[in-house]
Structure 1
Amino acid sequence: MLNTRTTQFEFSLSNTISRDELVRHDVFKSLQVSSAFNGDNSFIGDTELSAEKLSEYIVQQKWGLTRFSPYQESLEQTFITLTTGDEHTGFSSTIADNSGIENNETEAKTGTGA
């Protein structure tokens, strides 16, 4: 599984299908409702399938695929994710680990700490 790559796609369906129903299909690693197109049955899904394979799968399920595109997070959302320390990025845990090391080194030099 070292060579597996998860890709995100945004898609809309003409049939009303719940997120819970879609998640039951093992083609999605994760799935969220997209708010990009209000009133539309839109989702953002993580998958290991190629765009061609995923769109083919959706068509075979007869969900009524109306829109399909690779998902790109906006720069604003990327900034928010990085600055709020979203656990999915690993960014905050790196900072926490580094500050913990620095604190331990300071305590060792000064003789303070537990």
Structure 2
Amino acid sequence: MNVPKMLHSFKYAFKGVKVLLQENNARFHLLATVAVVLGGILLKLSFAEWSATIIAIGLVWMAEAFNTALEKLCDFVSEGYHPLIGKIKDLSAAAVLIISVCAAIIGIIIFLPKILANL
């Protein structure tokens, strides 16, 4: 195992995060992530609740990264409009929507009872 080479490869991952954060939707996810983490701290989530929350956040970010990568690849392959490219982009965006809705449901299950208990 070449540790310096492995650590150097993280440079590309961080470049990818920088590219991702240039996207409007990723900025929204960043704002939502910050809000959820702050809310979790204020509401004192349990270990299990934090685990579910972090998994949900990670899945949304992963889907957004794949969606952005696929959109950029599609734009590279086809400069003009193509119906199949449009469907590919729509499906990729649908994946983000699906996991985002699931994450929101997880958030409601975890946060709503705590919020209501603190009213």
TM-score by length of 1: 0.28
Larger radius of gyration: 1
Which of the pair has the greater relative contact order for Cα pairs under 8 Å at 6+ separation? 2
Query: Which structure carries more strand by proportion?
Result: 1
TM-score by length of 2: 0.27
